[in-house]
Structure 1
Amino acid sequence: MSEIANQYLPILLFLTVGIVFAFIFVGAPIVVSKLAGTSKPDTVKLSEYESGFPAFSDSRAQFDVRFYLVAILFIVFDLEAAFLFPWAVSLHWGGEAAWWAMIEFLGELAIGLVFAWKVGALEWE
């Protein structure tokens, strides 16, 4: 029985240290904040700080689909840029095959951009 306990002792020690550090770095600041009195809300603390203007309707209001289309297109072309940098750095290892694979990838993205442009996904009224 002690052999099994010795095998699980490092795991138990790891969990204990993790829980202690979680309390120190997460729980202690919350407790100190409550004790110090920094959680006193007022109108300035509750005001809008990201957008700069108050909310104009319910948070569950429907948005136009074009907003989501533009967001998805942004993500697609942002990922393109994220793939281009490592490819450019490691191009000498891949040789001609890597070159043509990236050209195909860029071509597919160009076709997608032309399609989105033709459909009108990039136009905003």
Structure 2
Amino acid sequence: MFGISFSELLLVGLVALLVLGPERLPGAARTAGLWIGRLKRSFNAIKQEVEREIGADEIRRQLHNEHILSLEQEARKILSPVQEPVAEHSIAPAPAADTAPTPKEPVPAPTASPAPHDPTLPPRAP
């Protein structure tokens, strides 16, 4: 993890033996092991808590997004106008390149036909 080799650990052990002495070294090693174990457990607990919170936040975000999408779909269903079928128009083929276009009569503009009278509306003025 930190890149400590066996020779470095041996050197630390020899210094601890010289500083603490043979009587106190086993107790100090046991105490150091307990503290290291507690630190590892604490870090793992914090790590799991953070991962759980991140997972919970992600789940909340997904549920919120799904709720928004369902509301959007409902709104589109309600607000979308009724689609009427579109009549297919036939398209005339383009004239051949070797023939000149023939003049056509002008097409009169379509006139507005009166809409059928709805009995729920008031009568129209002429």
| TM interval, short-chain normalised | under 0.3
Bigger Rg, which one:
2
How high is the TM-score relative to the length of structure 1? 0.25
Question: Comparing both chains, which one has the higher relative contact order based on Cα–Cα distances under 8 Å and sequence gaps of 6 or more?
Answer: 1
**TM-score when normalising by structure 2:** 0.25
Normalized per residue, the structure richer in helix is 1
